[in-house]
Amino acid sequence: MQSIKFFTGALFLALTLLASAQAEPPTITPQPGTSTQDASGFDYKEALKTSQQAIGNRLSNHRFMSSTGGVLFMEELKGKPLVISLIYTSCFHTCPMTTRNLAKVVAKAKDALGDQSFNVALIGFDVENDTPSAMRYFGRQNDIDGNDWKLLSTDQATRDLLIKELGFIYFPSIRGFDHLVQSTVVDADGTVYRQVYGEVIDTPLLVEPLKDLVFGRPSSAQTFIGDMVNRVKLFCTTYDPVRDTYIFDYSLFIGIFAGLSVIIFVLIFIIREWKRTGRQR
């Protein structure tokens, strides 16, 4: 009886370990800044509410002009997750700082998830001044590679519809424009999935939703093995706060294997004990 109690306890421990390994990663809640209204009439609390209400919106097939002079439609950016950041090129402080810091986090996300795993679009909302050449210059000034990022301009009608779908509010001010500093994560189907706030983004705030979208949603053409590999990547790609980077944590996979091994061993032991007890009776 003592041996059966011991192995029953081991079975419970193994099942707990396995359940813990398969649990969803924790949801990280963004911490926006002030919610007071400034002199321009910009209400940060209302802007945050509008931004959050945009989650679930489906983006239209907007038409953009790229910094290289071509035309690009929103449909061309579908098929993989997309990060959208709205800026205005005449901004001398907030937009450049936000863009440079976003670029650092995007680089870490690409290292962890794959260089071609998602797209990034920097869109100018000051349509009169954010021309393709201005966007190209802004990209050069802030070390943005136009090959990896889409630097996009658009017209007023498209801008107005796009910012409504993204939940983005801005007001003219003596500083240029006041707006909530947000980056929007869009899924492969063009639906707003997550809003990330702040001039300096903590790495997990952007990478975690991208990781969910890249690894957690199998495509129609994906095989069972491919889906299982992505599931393992989803569970085992973890954030290292010391190095501020993502790593593939083999220990979690080893823990799952060890847990399954214990379960199998315990089941074999119980079956053998049950057969032995039956013969003795």
Domain ranges of the chain: 2-23+249-280, 44-202
pLDDT for 185-220, tens place per residue? 999 999 999 999 999 999 999 999 999 999 875 444
pLDDT of residue 244: 61
Task: Tell me the three state secondary structure of residue 99.
Answer: helix
Cβ neighbours around 99 below 10 Å, total: 22
Segment 157-176 mean pLDDT: 93
Segment 29-53 mean pLDDT: 66
Fold of 44-202: Glutaredoxin (3.40.30)
pLDDT bracket for residue 173 (50, 70, 90): confident
Q: Which of 203, 278, 213, 280 is nearest to 247 (CA)?
A: 203
pLDDT bracket for residue 74 (50, 70, 90): very high
| Gap between the Cα atoms of 170 and 16, Å rounded | 49
Q: How far is CA 165 from the centre of its chain?
A: 18
pLDDT for 18-29, tens place per residue? 334 333 333 333
Q: pTM for this structure?
A: 0.70
